[in-house]
Amino acid sequence: MPAYTYLIQVLPQGGGNWATLREPRTGAPLSGTFGVLEATEEGLTDAAMSAMESFRRMGLKLRIAFWKGSRINERLYSNEICCMVHGDGAVVTAEEIQQQVQNEEKAKPRVRTDCPHAPHDAACGHAGTCQAVHSGADCQAVRPTCPACFQEVRSTAIPGLVQEIRRSGELLVRCSSCEALSFAFDAGLVCETCQWLVPEVNEELEDRFSANGGVFAPSPGACAGCSQQMPGADRAFSLDCPRCGTNVFLTLDNATPGGTITTMCPDSACGQFITLPATIWCRECGQTLRSPEVVRKLTLAANEPQLPDSVDSRESEDVRLARRLANAAESLDRRYSYLTQEQKNLLHDKGFLDSLISSPSPLADWVRDAVEMRAIGHERYRAGGMRALQETHQRIMELGVGHRVAARTVEQYWGGIGDWLS
């Protein structure tokens, strides 16, 4: 019986492009969404519906693509798809797929080789992977970085930002991460050829920030807390349920300013109530939502489950240490899917994490938990070598089956300490 490689994709509820369902921690395709099955050509539709069945029950809009043969370790191309089946049973033939690919190629903007600032040009939009447009190379387009907190602006926000700069000529913008009014743009920072920001934009932004003596003053009469937000900020955002991980998409157009908001996880089997705290509203006027990044961060913190404190005063120090590690690991796991790719890369750089252990400055939320796990690991190794590390890890396992994932996260972040996992 012929073998077919299959890939299941989902259309996000909020709109956008078809996306592969992935594990938030590893980035690998979600179990059951990618693999090889055997079926006759006539039975491919039935095989497709069977493969999608468990995901269809979640109410997702799905499609499954097939490639002939077993191609698990090969690159898959859209123009080689032999058949595609949608969740409603509709079948798209190879000929129809080829026509769609050709139409998309005609409509796709090409790299502007005449751009004087290449390879930073915006031909691919930078909304997702840029490798197709850049011939397999990583995209090197510049992204503006906040001079106050050094967080990078999302690439998907840049087209709207450029449009607003061209419309107004000069633009003061608030950082979506630290909320400081720290960006001072003008038309000279926009490339006229490709409509992206010029490569030296960050040096210029930093010079202007320093020359101003720091954060800029808001426009006369504007709110000091929420005015002049990054273009594209709206009252819709998404996060993963802190209990089951299901994506929760919220539109807050009708929310009452200043109040607390409660919603329920869309997965009926979970039913977790999720609280959006009153702190998501502007701290100055209380009438406007803060940036989506800040709203998401505050919501995750407000719903962060904590391990129960022991009521046994005789609980040993090693058990308390295990609880502390489990807290840090579970906190990091919940944040991970919301981090930028650069932040994720740094979290896997053990040398970088170790360099922050003795930092006199408060650590950013995204890296704090990983540094804490590394610091405790080094401390335990100095105190008792590998035996001490193994005993502490065993204490985490003994906290219960609900903390086994935390134990695996600790394993990962202890790598390279002594002989641990080396």
How confident is the model over 297-329, as pLDDT tens digits?
888 788 776 545 444 444 578 888 998 999 899
Q: Which residue blocks in 81-157 are alpha helix, DSSP H? A: 94-107
Average pLDDT over residues 70-91: 85
**What does the pLDDT look like over 123-135, one tens digit per residue?**
444 434 444 445 4
What would the two tokens of residue 210 be? 């320093």
Buried b (16+ CB within 10 A) or exposed e, 182-199: bbbbeeebbbeebbbbbb
Q: What is the percentage of the chain residues whose pLDDT exceeds 90?
A: 20
Is the pLDDT assigned to residue 103 strictly greater than 80?
Answer: no
Identify the pLDDT of residue 117. 62
Burial class (CB in 10 A: 0-12, 13-18, 19+), 57: exposed
SS3 20: strand
| Annotated domain spans of the chain | 3-107, 109-231, 236-302, 317-413
Is the pLDDT assigned to residue 271 strictly greater than 70?
Answer: yes
| Strand pairing report for 181-186 and 236-240 | unpaired
**What does the pLDDT look like over 208-221, one tens digit per residue?**
999 999 999 998 98
Identify the pLDDT of residue 56. 78
Give kind and range of the element (H or E) at residue 352. Answer: helix 350-355
What would the two tokens of residue 59 be? 């109410």
**What does the pLDDT look like over 359-374, one tens digit per residue?**
766 777 788 899 999 9
What would the two tokens of residue 286 be? 């209380």
**pLDDT higher for 246 or 324?**
324
Identify the pLDDT of residue 314. 47
Residue 310 corresponds to which amino acid? S
- Nearest alpha carbon to residue 84 among 18, 26, 180: 18
Is the pLDDT assigned to residue 78 strictly greater than 70?
Answer: yes
Identify the pLDDT of residue 340. 82
Decide if 234 contacts 215 (C-beta within 8 A).
no
CB-CB neighbours of 126 under 10 Å = 21
Identify the pLDDT of residue 344. 87
CA distance 125 to 57: 34
What is 155-214 written as a DSSP string? GGGHHHHHHHHHHHSEEEEE-TTT--EEEEEEGGGB-TTTSSB-TTHHHHHHHHHHHTTS
CA distance 257 to 267: 27
Quote the pTM value: 0.47
Identify the pLDDT of residue 123. 45
Identify the pLDDT of residue 295. 85
What would the two tokens of residue 85 be? 């089946």
- The mean predicted confidence, pLDDT, of the chain is 80
Identify the pLDDT of residue 262. 86
Q: At 46, is the pLDDT very low, low, confident or very high (cuts 50, 70, 90)?
A: very high
Average pLDDT over residues 232-251: 69
Rg for the chain (alpha carbons), in Å?
A: 25
136: left (phi over 0), alpha (psi -120 to 50) or beta: left
C-alpha dihedral, 189 to 195 to 196 to 197, nearest 10°: 0
Decide if 223 contacts 288 (C-beta within 8 A).
yes
Query: Which of the residue ranges 173-177, 300-304, 308-312, 392-396 would you say has the lowest mean pLDDT?
Result: 308-312
